[in-house]
Amino acid sequence: SRERLLQSTTFNRKTLRKDPLLPSLSKTDKHIGVAIGEWILDLNSISHLFNGPLLKDKQHVFKEEKLNSFMGLTKPHWLEARSTIQSLLDISNSALQNDTNLRERAFVKQSEAKMHVPAEIGDYSDFYSSIHHATNVGIMFRGKENALPSNWKHIPIGYHGRCSSIVVSGTPIYRPYGQTLPVDGADPHFGPCRLMDFELEMACFVGGPPTSVGQRVTAKEAEDKLFGLVLMNDWSARDIQKWEYVPLGPFTAKNLGTSISPWIVTIEALRPYIVDNFPQDKPPFPYLQHDDNFNFDIKLEVDLRPESSPVATTICRSNYRFLYWTVKQQLAQQTVTGCSLRPADLLGSGTISGDTSDSYGSMLELSWKGTKPLRLLNGEERKFLQDGDTVILRGYCLDENGIRIGFGSCEGKLLPAIPFQE
Amino acid sequence: SRERLLQSTTFNRKTLRKDPLLPSLSKTDKHIGVAIGEWILDLNSISHLFNGPLLKDKQHVFKEEKLNSFMGLTKPHWLEARSTIQSLLDISNSALQNDTNLRERAFVKQSEAKMHVPAEIGDYSDFYSSIHHATNVGIMFRGKENALPSNWKHIPIGYHGRCSSIVVSGTPIYRPYGQTLPVDGADPHFGPCRLMDFELEMACFVGGPPTSVGQRVTAKEAEDKLFGLVLMNDWSARDIQKWEYVPLGPFTAKNLGTSISPWIVTIEALRPYIVDNFPQDKPPFPYLQHDDNFNFDIKLEVDLRPESSPVATTICRSNYRFLYWTVKQQLAQQTVTGCSLRPADLLGSGTISGDTSDSYGSMLELSWKGTKPLRLLNGEERKFLQDGDTVILRGYCLDENGIRIGFGSCEGKLLPAIPFQE
Ligand SMILES: [Ca+2]
Ligand SMILES: [Ca+2]
Ligand SMILES: [Mg+2]
Ligand SMILES: [Mg+2]
Ligand code: NI
């Protein structure tokens, strides 16, 4: 069965295109790992095999419980790690093949692992970079004339989010209590959120050594600072958001829990799936300009599985490529006034909506503010999320040769509100 | 001279009212300490003397480089630490008095110490809790009729800030580049900020064990989660802020650097200076209600020292007590939808303005949007900050008996913008 294991990983060479990294391994401590089909290669147990010129003195980064130290190295380090792993998995490489003991420690079944948030996130920002999403929201709340805010095509708009509430896929989310204004001009109301929503997003982990306060990173310089992508669900309490967000932006409507997938797919692994950037009508200011394509064809889907049924309904099919602003431009905006970066900072893309009504990345848009309920496969209808609903984001890339890399899934179940007791 | 040292600390018993904590000590590593007059008592070197029932098994928290672990204990632990320190400094206590060697290691001159941000801040929020400040800003930008946003008296409005850009007092701040909209309806401009400002704030460090995502902390429960206060200058680029903040709030206008004072004055030390809460016209929702007074008479001053002169001008005299929302209410708002807390999270108060024009906590208000220039002692005028200006916040409490506790100062010099090179 050991043989089969190694054959299966070498046979499935396409899985080498995928080099996401996993942070957890045993019940007692957390390990960093790489996904190989159904298995995880535990980098902690093979850290001594990273003997390339850059990593041979840095093997300790693979012994840590989080990816921060590895992310804090440089792109050449990340590339060397990738090629070392690829070579270790080659059938002609004897380091793993011939060491039964090591092999046994090094491979862990994904089904037997508990996943964690892969890094200690120092700061998390969320952007608003999908033009279709921003336009939809604008039409709903400001009318067709002024759908896009006047700054939107000049600035990759973003805001700071809450790191403590970032949770790994699988963590349940509680419907929040909060203040809302059911009737304009009347008194606000306090109670469970009535317009609970998800947001289909992807988020990019920052890598590279920390920068200093005062230091800008332009879009042209951004590449070395971008480590890899995860799926993200920015759970949103729409009614709470509407009442609180003027003038300082979303706050408690967005800090009730933000789910990310545990597998980080590195930028390098995504390179075969680069596509043209979204056309930008106005050339942005130079700090936001970069010459290369840095958009990715990542197919995204959202399933909703109601409590009453084992059957999930796919309610959205979108694509990362619909983003107007690239993640290089987001990073340039994040730092333009001198905001410093630390490895494992997280940049959320904003809700990723396409231009057709089945590609919208939130219930707000899919049900058009609740005016067009969605019908689920089991016959139920949804305007917003109901207690017991599980929301599942999935993402994958597929090239002409059928080579596929997957982001796994980012899921979470919405639990009923915890009653407020005075 | 050793004798004098210990006499001076015991003579100055009033300094025991002040138990702020210091994170740095030697050139090689950072130590936690307590201010005693001009001296610092190095808690690292006396950790073995914390022999009370709660701390005797927790002495390691005093060996760490940051206050996070100590903050992550409970209020009874903090109180035991305080009384242990008070008793060690008593002239009748021989533990320190008789051990010349230990005394030598335990006391460090403040003037010889380099200060650091006292804790690893996991998340930082900034509130907007001064009614005079919110009203002033409202009058300037929305007119007298609708000065306060309609949610303002219902919600302690806040937003998430950027942890990576929090720096310790003394760190210079660079004038940022950014986008602005000099003429409404025209094209935006990219260049150095022209309306650079400070914001006089205080901020509260959160303490206690972490809470879980989904867990609320009401205002009545907040006390055990509040560790202590520091001074904070939330440097703000007003012209950048104005162009970027709709619809998602301030972002790059506020993440260019936020200065805090290194000394944390604990809530316990501030207890003698508690005053009535600011009267709230509308009773807030129950989660925001607490029965006790939790407002503090902390005198606040802002000095501006231009590059051309050694003389600083006091441009603002304000007071923490002017805050409409208490920090208990801020914490309740932070967590109402289930946002989790970690020790050393930071809650900024928002700009603290009084109701007279010499008590406004920002240049925006002091110069009334630039229409009323301030005259400095050296004859210069200011509408907003100029390159080379040093801004110095100071805070202290004084009771009827003349007992004073000080927050030290929070200062920073504004350096010219680093030119943008394409
Ligand atoms: Ca979002
Ligand atoms: Ca502020
Ligand atoms: Mg942070
Ligand atoms: Mg954080
Ligand atoms: Ni030391």
DSSP A130: B
Q: Which residues in chain A have their CB less than 8 angstroms from residue B174's CB?
A: 213-214, 338
Q: CB distance from A173 to chain B under 8 Å?
A: yes
Q: Which residues in chain A have their CB less than 8 angstroms from residue B177's CB?
A: 216, 287, 336-337
Listing DSSP states for B99-141 in one string gives -HHHHHHHEEEGGG-----SS--S-EEEE--BHHHHHHHHHHH
Contacts of A100-105 with CB under 8 Å at 24 or more apart are A100/A2, A102/A45, A102/A46, A103/A2, A103/A5, A103/A6, A104/A2, A105/A42, A105/A45
Q: CB distance from A160 to chain B under 8 Å?
A: yes
A127-151: per-residue pLDDT in tens? 999 999 999 999 998 899 989 999 9
Contact (CB<8Å) B337/A255: yes
At position B128, the amino acid (one-letter code) is Y
Average pLDDT in chain B? 91
Question: B410 near B232, Cβ under 8 Å?
Answer: yes
User: How many residues does this entry show for chain B?
Assistant: 422
Contact (CB<8Å) A181/B255: no
Rounded (5°) CA angle B366-B370-B372: 60
pTM: 0.93
- The three-class DSSP label of residue A260 is strand
Catalytic residue among B31, B77, B132, B133: B133
B32-54: per-residue pLDDT in tens? 989 888 888 989 899 999 999 99
B318-354: per-residue pLDDT in tens? 999 999 999 999 999 999 999 999 999 999 999 999 9
Work out the average pLDDT over B248-275.
95
Instruction: Give the pLDDT score at B37.
Output: 84
Question: A72 near A341, Cβ under 8 Å?
Answer: no
B139-168: per-residue pLDDT in tens? 998 899 989 999 999 999 999 999 999 999
Asked whether the predicted pLDDT for residue B373 surpasses 70, the reply is: yes
Rounded (5°) CA angle A297-A303-A305: 170
A212-257: per-residue pLDDT in tens? 999 999 999 999 999 999 999 999 999 999 999 999 999 999 999 9
Work out the average pLDDT over B265-294.
95
Catalytic residue among A77, A133, A160, A189: A133
Spell out the per-residue pLDDT of chain A, length 422, in tens: 222 222 222 222 223 333 444 443 445 578 898 988 888 898 989 999 999 999 999 999 999 989 999 999 999 999 999 999 989 988 888 888 888 888 888 888 888 888 899 999 999 999 999 999 999 999 998 899 989 999 999 999 999 999 999 999 999 999 999 999 999 999 999 999 999 999 999 999 999 999 999 999 999 999 999 999 999 999 999 999 999 999 999 999 999 999 999 999 999 999 999 999 999 998 999 999 999 999 999 999 999 999 999 999 999 999 999 999 999 999 999 999 999 999 999 999 999 999 999 999 999 999 999 999 999 999 999 999 999 999 999 999 998 888 888 999 999 999 999 999 86
Q: Which residues in chain A have their CB less than 8 angstroms from residue B156's CB?
A: none
Rounded CA gap, B419 and A275, in Å? 33
Catalytic annotation present for B133: yes
Instruction: Give the pLDDT score at A27.
Output: 53
Interface of A with B in 324-343 (CB under 8 A): 333-334, 336-342
CA–centroid distance, B317 to ligand 1, in Å, is 40
What is the per-residue burial (b if ≥16 Cβ within 10 Å, else e) of B243-273? Answer: bbbebbbbbbbbbbbbbbbbbbbbbbbbeeb
Rounded CA gap, B241 and A248, in Å? 11
ipTM of the complex: 0.93
